[in-house]
């Protein structure tokens, strides 16, 4: 598989901590959405690492088709 599964057609709001790194699921198969649980193994896809610059709410992409990587860019509205 080289095309990600759409986990949901809206973003995930996640409270992140400054300086902490998060592994965003890029394959769509993780049971721990929007974060990686290793489900990508054998798919040809890999998680995208996201380092939080501030303690805040980040909107991670749920459709897995964002052109900005881990964060939502509104692409889900066109799917």
Q: What is the pLDDT of residues 40-73, one digit of tens each?
A: 998 999 999 999 999 999 999 999 999 999 999 9
Specify the pLDDT at position 1.
57
Given a cut of 60, is residue 9 above it in pLDDT? yes
Residue 2 pLDDT class (50, 70, 90 cuts): confident
Strand partners for 57: 15
Say which residue the tokens 């509104």 belong to. Answer: 74
Termini Cα distance of the chain: 19
Residue 4 pLDDT class (50, 70, 90 cuts): very high
Cα angle value 77/21/19 (rounded, 5°): 115
Strand partners for 59: 13
Q: What is the pLDDT of residues 16-48, one digit of tens each?
A: 999 999 999 999 999 999 999 999 998 999 999
């Amino acid at each position: 598989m080289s095309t990600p599964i759409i986990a949901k057609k809206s973003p995930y709001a996640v409270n992140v901590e400054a300086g902490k790194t998060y592994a965003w699921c890029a394959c769509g198969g993780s049971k721990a959405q929007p974060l990686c649980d290793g489900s990508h193994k054998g798919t040809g896809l890999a998680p995208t690492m996201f380092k939080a610059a501030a303690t805040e709410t980040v909107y991670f992409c749920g459709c897995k088709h964002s052109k900005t990587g881990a964060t939502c860019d509104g692409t889900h509205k066109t799917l």
